[in-house]
Amino acid sequence: MNILVTGAGGFIGGHIVKKLLSHGHKVRAVDIKNLNEWFQVFDKAENISKDLTIKENCYASCKDMDEVINMACNMGGMGFIENNKALCMLSVLVNTHMLMACKEYKIKKYFFSSSACVYNANKQNKTFIEGLKEEDAYPALPEDGYGWEKLFSERMCRHFLEDYKLDVKVARYHNIYGPNGTYDGGREKAPAAICRKIINANIKKENSIEVWGDGEQTRSFLYIDDCVEATLNFFHSQHHGPINIGSEEQVSINQMIKIIESFSGNKYNKIYQLDKPKGVRGRSSNNNLIKKLLNWEPKYSLKEGLFKTYNWIEKEIKKKHNQ
């Protein structure tokens, strides 16, 4: 197949390109960033830097393709999405123009990467909650900015399926983490941020780390290899979603810190920053639907995935220190 992957210079997109190439597909990889800023670049792919908020670029990218996996959006951890609501909402242009181009070129399959941020905030007020089921997105009260864009784009995908029979696939990601991703600069998510803080404290021989909030807020986190497997299983299925792609292993930030501390061999005083963005109080995935439809569940425990992530970030940080 000729497959277009947008957001290919990003974290999940880069891992998906790698897997598709290993399966023998021809991949056109597109991202707004310059090639030297991509997390992963593969010589076997057709690598293009283009702004996909522009309609003409979406049409040019889709031409001669069989399938499209759309990972392109402005996103990051809670600090980024709470402070860049307008920028996050502009991602609706990418999905809008991609859907129009897919209709024009009769693309066989279209995947849209949505988020657990679409879920109703009133269902996420406690620390440890029941896993969120796909129907819990309505009545709608998503994360402001980023969550609203994702939910609106989901609806657009649904109507392109209903009105134009475009074979759309919509997945809601729950906190994907792992190597070859953002770990500093403001867009990183909690697992990478905590790994970075502990690694830096180790290197500098400091005895404390800063923690956003009180550390009791909870999430579930899915390792990148599990995410890619679930995504491609879903993409090649006859199902349309929306469907959760996440883990049911819910932990507090404090619990996750303890796991990461065990890799460093040290314990740290925690300086809680209660004025920092925290997001909802508790969030976790309910995987009943994906188990039923695809017989899928994660292979990696949180500790296993964090260990791999910690080691990769440690190597990257030490490289910078030695430069």
**What is the pLDDT at residue 168?**
98
> Chain-wide mean pLDDT for the chain?
95
> Does position 210 have pLDDT exceeding 80, yes or no?
yes
Please report, for residues 82, 189, 259, 288, the alpha-carbon distance to residue 247 in angstroms, rounded to integers and kept in the order given: 23, 16, 17, 11
Q: Are 177 and 191 in contact (CB under 8 A)?
A: yes
| Catalytically annotated residue among 110, 119, 146, 310 | 146
Q: What pLDDT digit, counting tens, does each position of 143-185 carry? A: 999 999 999 999 999 999 999 999 999 999 999 999 998 999 8
pTM of the model: 0.95
- Please give the Cα distance from 118 to 96 (Å, whole number): 18
Beta strands in the chain (DSSP E): 2-6, 26-31, 46-49, 67-70, 109-115, 168-173, 176-177, 208-212, 218-220, 222-223, 243-245, 250-252, 269-273
Q: Which residues contact 106 (CB under 8 A, 6 or more apart)?
A: none
Q: Tell me which residue has tokens 């197949």.
A: 1
> Does position 323 have pLDDT exceeding 70, yes or no?
no
146 in catalytic set: yes
> Does position 312 have pLDDT exceeding 60, yes or no?
yes
224 phi and psi, to 5 degrees?
-60, -40
Which domains does the chain possess? 2-176+222-245 (3.40.50.720), 178-219+249-283+300-318 (3.90.25.10)
